[in-house]
């Protein structure tokens, strides 16, 4: 599991320590991963301007003197078009159960539509306290922001509405203050230097997938999966072998590029992030494989880390 390099050595007394689980929900591209990376102070979640970037539920752990928050970063809630999409939306819905707080993020630069209405209806059916974070506040005037706050305040019983900028960090301290106020007094669930429950292999695969998302176009980004097949720790470097799975031969050609140039650039950028993650020199080997219609095949979904194992 990833470790945070700088953690407060002395925590408050157990009688004052607050802790709990917070499900972070919202439409695709609401800024959930950007916010959590900012709060953690390091890159744990991949980011892209393309929707449906996050596919799994990932726990991100923030530990401070006042307490510990376990954020559940979830896939953006959308209308699924395949079994992978059904898994993603199901993951987001499931994360809302048995948590202490729901953090609902809204992108203020997007119009209010059926997607938000669907989420609002979901929230009305739960008794879990919900905090609304209105993201990208830096793009609105104060007058426009007040109108948005008034509109959303009428839609559901939010414990608080906090305007923020996940990108710049504006007002995120206030958001944390509001969340901690909703959490019960409780134990430290994770060691204070851990920032995620995911193994390094998962994060490495996500970093490779992020680069494909950033460098390819159209439907290609959503048709890929990445699997880390092998990690060898040498004396001077770490050797990583990753497999990029696509659905069609044409997508394989796009990812490889002319003379292998595209795949080489994907590898170069991913290697830089993996080296920062591991704190070591990395030799990254990438291969591309076609697995037709894998997003609709339960066996493939399980093999690539999506969906539940049998049994």
The Cα 41–Cα 47 span in angstroms is 15
77 known member of a binding site: yes
32 known member of a binding site: yes
Start-to-end C-alpha separation, the chain: 26
CA-closest candidate to residue 197, choices 45, 39, 31, 5: 45
Q: State phi, psi for 258 to the nearest 5 degrees.
A: -65, 120
CB 93 within 8 A of CB 26: no
28 known member of a binding site: yes
Count other C-beta atoms under 10 Å from residue 264's C-beta: 13
29 known member of a binding site: yes
73 known member of a binding site: yes
191 known member of a binding site: no
DSSP string, 6-43: ---SSPPPTTT-EEEEEEEEESTTSSHHHHHHHHHTS-
Helix 249-256 and helix 261-278: axis angle, to 10°?
70
**DSSP character for 46?**
-
292 known member of a binding site: no
33 known member of a binding site: yes
30 known member of a binding site: yes
260 known member of a binding site: no
136 known member of a binding site: yes
26 known member of a binding site: yes
Q: Which residue is listed with tokens 């401070």?
A: 64
41 known member of a binding site: no
**Strand pairing partners for 259?**
none
76 known member of a binding site: yes
55 known member of a binding site: no
Q: Which residue is listed with tokens 């709990």?
A: 20
Annotated binding-site members for GTP: 26-33, 73-77, 135-138
Annotated binding-site members: 26-33, 73-77, 135-138
């Amino acid at each position: 599991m990833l470790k945070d390099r700088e953690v407060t050595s002395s925590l408050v007394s157990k009688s004052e320590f607050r802790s709990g689980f917070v499900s972070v929900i919202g439409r695709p591209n609401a800024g959930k991963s950007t916010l959590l990376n900012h709060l953690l102070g390091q890159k744990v979640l991949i980011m892209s301007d393309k929707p449906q970037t996050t596919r799994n539920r990932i726990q991100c752990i923030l530990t401070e003197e006042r307490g510990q928050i376990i954020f559940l970063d979830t896939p953006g809630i959308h209308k699924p078009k395949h079994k992978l999409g059904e898994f993603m939306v199901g993951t987001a819905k499931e994360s809302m159960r048995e948590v202490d707080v729901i953090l609902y993020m809204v992108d203020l630069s997007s119009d209010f539509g059926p997607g938000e209405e669907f989420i609002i209806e979901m929230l009305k059916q739960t008794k879990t306290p919900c905090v609304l974070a209105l993201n990208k506040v830096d793009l609105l005037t104060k007058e426009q922001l007040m109108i948005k706050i008034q509109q959303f305040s009428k839609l559901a019983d939010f414990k608080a509405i906090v305007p923020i900028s996940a990108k710049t960090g504006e007002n995120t301290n206030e958001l944390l203050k509001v969340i901690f106020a909703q959490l019960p007094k409780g134990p430290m669930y994770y060691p204070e230097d851990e920032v995620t429950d995911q193994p390094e292999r998962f994060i490495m695969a996500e970093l490779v997938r992020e680069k494909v998302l950033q460098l390819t176009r159209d439907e290609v980004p959503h048709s890929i999966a990445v699997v880390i097949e092998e990690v060898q720790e040498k004396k001077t470097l770490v050797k990583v072998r990753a497999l990029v799975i696509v659905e069609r031969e044409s997508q394989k050609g796009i990812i490889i590029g002319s003379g292998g140039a595209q795949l080489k650039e994907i590898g170069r950028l991913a290697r830089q992030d993996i080296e920062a993650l591991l704190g070591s020199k990395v030799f990254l080997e990438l291969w591309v494989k076609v697995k037709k219609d894998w997003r609709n095949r339960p066996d493939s979904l399980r093999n690539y880390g999506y969906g539940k194992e049998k049994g």
